[in-house]
Amino acid sequence: MATIGEAARRSGVHIETIRYYERVGVVPRPARTDAGRRDYSKADIRRLGFIRRCRDLGFSIADARRLAALTSDRQGNCPDAQAVAETHLADIRARMEALRGIEAQLAAMVENCARRAQPCPVLEKLEEETGRTA
Amino acid sequence: MATIGEAARRSGVHIETIRYYERVGVVPRPARTDAGRRDYSKADIRRLGFIRRCRDLGFSIADARRLAALTSDRQGNCPDAQAVAETHLADIRARMEALRGIEAQLAAMVENCARRAQPCPVLEKLEEETGRTA
DNA sequence: ACTGCATCCTGTAGCCACTACAGGAGCAAG
DNA sequence: CTTGCTCCTGTAGTGGCTACAGGATGCAGT
């Protein structure tokens, strides 16, 4: 059993974030000491680490909650976990695609700047009358 | 001179977003009709389109405001616009890098799922005791 | 026993860039 | 004159934290 500070150190989740996770129900409420302080079990701390790894991989809190709920019976729910991961992977790839497009446009603008083009290529491009990109 | 609805259609910025932009001061307050309705000039609408193109390229509102302020005297301020664009480009590239790492990890997990690995590779990976990725 | 500091508690407000109402007023066509 | 569209203001919600304010507790050193 550990204080919130120890749980934070061991799980890699900030104290304030741990309390936030508790508030939104993505981690269960831990035990309390007689004085009313949070008291974390090893399982609690493992759960915090699980959520952090989900977040590091870009999963939403809602997805992290879903994935955590699947950890109880592993075998049967693998298709569910796989579906969550695949949907997220598709989303990540879409975001990369969008960034690639932006990157290309910005790179072109900056390159024209380097060529000392006149007038300013950045502002020229932004003043262009275009339809929506998105 | 145009209503907010026309300005929205022509600039590609939603009505609610236009009012939001006015509130945060990234576009100037437009004229008003006698009845108190917003009345947009061509310059106003151009400015809205400018801001939208900035946002489409991922610039923050603060950057969009800075860039818009530079449009008055073009030649002299090109280095300023270039600096804003270059900083943003670096940020975009960093984000792409982060997504690439995530994409690789997710792709590996999902691929193992396809191989019918046991136990569930997605949950296994998330339960690993790791140091922080970020 | 007392002092001082670290850590903990709750609750609230701020961040970004919108988005979604609620509740009301005007305006143009049939 | 009614219907339905657009417009107005103001406020609250989204996600995922982060940063206080203002107080209580715990523990080490003297």
Closest CA to C9 C1' — which residue?
A37
B26 vs A79, residue with greater confidence: B26
pTM for this entry: 0.90
DSSP of chain A: -B-HHHHHHHHT--HHHHHHHHHHTSSPPPEE-TTS-EEB-HHHHHHHHHHHHHHHTT--HHHHHHHHHHTSSTTTTHHHHHHHHHHHHHHHHHHHHHHHHHHHHHHHHHHHHHTT-SS-HHHHHHHS------
Candidates A120, A124, A129, A130: best to mutate against B (most CBs of B within 10 A) is: A120
The model's pLDDT over A20-37, given as tens digits with 9 standing for 90+, comes to 999 999 999 999 999 999
Which pLDDT value is given to residue B25? 94
Q: A93-104, pLDDT tens digit by residue?
A: 999 999 999 999
Provide, in whole angstroms, the distance separating residue B81's CA from nucleotide C5's C1': 49
- Rounded Cα distance, B134 and B129, in Å: 15
Question: Can you tell me the distance from the alpha carbon of A14 to that of A5, in angstroms, rounded to the nearest whole number?
Answer: 8
pLDDT confidence of residue B115: 82
Question: Does B116 have pLDDT greater than 80?
Answer: no
For residue range A53-93, list pLDDT tens digits in order: 999 999 999 999 999 999 876 666 688 899 999 999 999 99
Give the pLDDT of residue B72: 78
Residue B134 has pLDDT above 60, yes or no: no
pLDDT of residue A115: 82
Average pLDDT over residues B16-37: 96
Comparing alpha-carbon positions, the chain A residue that sits nearest to B90 is: A103
Per-residue pLDDT band at A114 (split at 50, 70, 90) = confident
Q: Do B119 and A75 touch (CB under 8 A)?
A: yes
- Would the pLDDT of A133 be above 60? no
Whether any strand C atom is under 7 angstroms from the Cβ of B58: the reply reads no
Q: At B28, list the tokens.
A: 């100037």
Residue B90 near chain A (CB below 8 Å)? no
